[in-house]
Homo-oligomer: A and B are copies of this chain.
Amino acid sequence: MSVHSARPVRGTRDILPEEMALRNRAEQIISDTYRAAGFEQIETPALEDIDLLLGSEGGENLKMLFTILKRGDKFRPAEDSEPKDLCDIGLRFDLTLPLSRYFSANKEKLALPFKAVQIGNVFRAERPQKGRFRSFKQCDIDIIGDPSIGAEIELVHTTGEALKALGFTDFTIKVNDRKLLNAFLGNKGFTDEQIPSVCIVLDKLDKIGQDGVAAELTEKFEDLSAEEAAALVAEAAQMTLDTAAQATGLDDAASDLKLLIDTTNAAAGGAYQAVFDFSLIRGMGYYTGPVFEVSYGPYGYSVGGGGRYDEMIGKTSKQSVPAVGFSIGFERIIGILEDEGRKISDDEQTFVLFYDLKDDLPAVLAASDGLKAEGKRVVLTQKKKKFGNQLKHAEESGAAGFMVFGRDEEPKLFESKES
């Protein structure tokens, strides 16, 4: 019999107990913060209809779909079959599109504004690289049915508080508004069709600088002279809320962003800050208003992001409903907590209860249940001949103490744990 490889599927990973304990505590902190702020948790299936996924404005994510083969008689392959001919289901690539479908399907049972928490895995067939996986967890909060900047204020504040509760400080929440960006680029003569490609290039400002962005724009748009491109990029890079309002005439959008930034900063009391960043794009095509992104310390990637997507629910519902969401990149948060060797408080004490199969087993279980009732965690372990080794191993594994059934009346603390 041949032995099958035990490696997980390419781009996915197994989670060991130590990391899992950290993940569970982090998820609990995030979930408690969201729930205390009045958000309600919901869940949607990992599977979604393939036409719904392909019909979304998921940008690059649509190229990374995992798609599921039709079953039974519906599976009819041909030489020129396209993936979408053979598949009826795909794995979700984010939690926003499923939430929109969910809201449309269940809106009679939900009061507006509906404040949702979702915590779940999403799937993208990306080229695997360090810290980037094909299955990863996201933690989203969304507010559906509130068209005002009050929704953005609540989301940004609650996300900031969740990150603070996880022990993060000095992070920055960058905010921008798609309406300002679109109006600015429209004034420069770009058509609605061109604007997304301009944005993709502008998004690289952090990485390739003003000269790099200007050069790429000149290359991409024949009508654009090198001078015009350089001027446009310089203007964008130096944009403030005041100049954005002047350049676009969108005074309301600019003053809403100002209210969002000022309120967030006042409530944060210096623990983190919100700033205007006109070069913040966010890849998804479905954003219609304010967008946000969290950057932290020296890490060259965002640890969260979101924005307003007022048109998406209209795709699965006759009525369009305003909506805005903020997603925490759970895997990146965990990666940073591990990188920085940070612990999230855990005062749990584990005791090893040694026993023998020949002991009075109901009494062994009663002793174990008694310790658990006192709030202790108990690892039942059969005594071996080399008991000294077992004891040493128990101590090394982090247990606080041990008890030998039939010999000890009470658990003993290991010497290293005695204060």
Contacts and interface: CB of A to CB of B under 8 A. Distances in A.
Interface of A: 1, 3-9, 12-17, 20-21, 23-24, 31, 35-38, 40-49, 51-52, 55, 66-69, 71, 75, 77-81, 83, 86-87, 89, 91, 101-102, 104-106, 109-111, 113, 115-116, 121, 123, 125, 134-135, 146, 148-150, 153-154, 157, 161, 259, 262-263, 266-267, 314-318, 350, 357, 361-362, 365-366, 368-369, 372, 376-382, 393, 397
A77 B67 contact: no
A89 B9 contact: yes
A31 B42 CA distance: 19
A87 B69 contact: yes
Q: Which of A6, A8, A382 has the most CB of B within 10 A?
A: A6
A14 B267 contact: no
Contact of A46 (B135, B148, B266): B135
B69 A42 contact: no
15 contacts: A4-B55, A5-B52, A5-B316, A14-B106, A15-B44, A16-B106, A37-B377, A38-B379, A45-B135, A66-B71, A77-B77, A86-B86, A263-B362, A266-B365, A267-B369
Contacts of A382: 146, 148, 150
A243 to B, nearest CB: 24
A135 B362 CA distance: 38
A119 to B, nearest CB: 10
Contact of A397 (B1, B13, B105, B111): B111
B83 A5 contact: no
A52 B8 CA distance: 10
Contact of A45 (B12, B43, B380, B393): B12
A104 to B, nearest CB: 4
Given A357-B150, A361-B259, A36 B397 contact: no
A13 B45 contact: yes
Nearest to A372: B36
Nearest to A78: B79
B9 A263 contact: no
A4 B267 contact: no
A378 to B, nearest CB: 6
Contacts of A318: 3
A357 B135 contact: no
A150 B368 CA distance: 14
Nearest to A256: B357
Contacts of A104: 6
Contacts of A91: 68
A379 B135 contact: no
Contacts of A78: 77, 79
A83 B69 contact: yes
Nearest to A36: B372
Given A6-B101, A68-B68, A79-B79, 7 more contacts: A8-B102, A14-B42, A66-B71, A69-B69, A150-B357, A266-B361, A266-B362
A64 to B, nearest CB: 8
A216 to B, nearest CB: 26
A134 B48 CA distance: 12
A411 B258 CA distance: 30
A170 to B, nearest CB: 19
Contact of A41 (B21, B69, B372, B377): B21
A393 to B, nearest CB: 7
Contacts of A157: 365
Contacts of A35: 377
Contacts of A316: 3-6
B357 A148 contact: yes
B45 A105 contact: no
